[in-house]
Amino acid sequence: MEAYLVQLSIEHAYLIYASIIILGFLEGPFLSLFCGVLIRLGHLYVLPVYLSLMIGDLIGDALWYYLGFRYGHRFVKRYGEYFSITPERVEKVTGIFHKYKKPILFVSKISNGFGFALVTLFTAGMVKIPFGFYMFVNGLAQLIWTGLLLGTGYYFSNLYLTIDSVLGRMSIIAFAIVIVIAFLGFRKYLQNKIK
């Protein structure tokens, strides 16, 4: 399987990076971690992966902005519950936007996946934040966020590859599980704070 992936990445690099853009649009954080591992293993190159992940995620940001700008409360009433975008959350984030327009966009992007990024992106469109400003702030934050995730995937795969003992590998797996549980717990905490 590994040999097949290497051959595919050599012969059809454009297909790999196009797939990263599409998958980055759907699920950027976990894909970024995985791509960090693939970079460490030598199957992918840093710059094209970095750009592909950023493009995919920023396409998603533009879509959420458009939905908020164009459909606003109608979207919330009809589909909001499927994306954790409730009228109460929109109202709360709208109030925050009026006070902290710049920091809230940046923080929501850096903390992508912690439970309030989508409602913030959507609400930015609803309150008519200028699109150029919105994309600039999100792009800057995305640059940092993607780098952190790629670096984390790269670093932990490096640890995994350098530790040969079964006990060492088990401790890294256990550590990864603890990180995922902590991530999910923090996400739930933030979701409860916004409710």
Other CB atoms within 10 A of residue 140 CB: 14
Give the pTM: 0.69
Average pLDDT over residues 53-74: 89
Gap between the Cα atoms of 175 and 163, Å rounded: 14
The CB-side HSE value for 48 (13 A sphere, CA atoms) comes to: 14
Sign of the four-CA dihedral 19, 106, 192, 127: negative
Sign of the four-CA dihedral 41, 42, 47, 49: negative
Q: What is the pLDDT of residue 8?
A: 62
Q: What is the pLDDT of residue 62?
A: 92
Kindly list the domain boundaries of the chain, sorted by start residue: 2-194
Give 113-172 pLDDT, tens digit per residue. 455 577 788 888 888 888 999 899 888 888 888 888 888 888 877 665 555 455 555 666
Q: What is the pLDDT of residue 38?
A: 81
Burial class (CB in 10 A: 0-12, 13-18, 19+), 131: middle
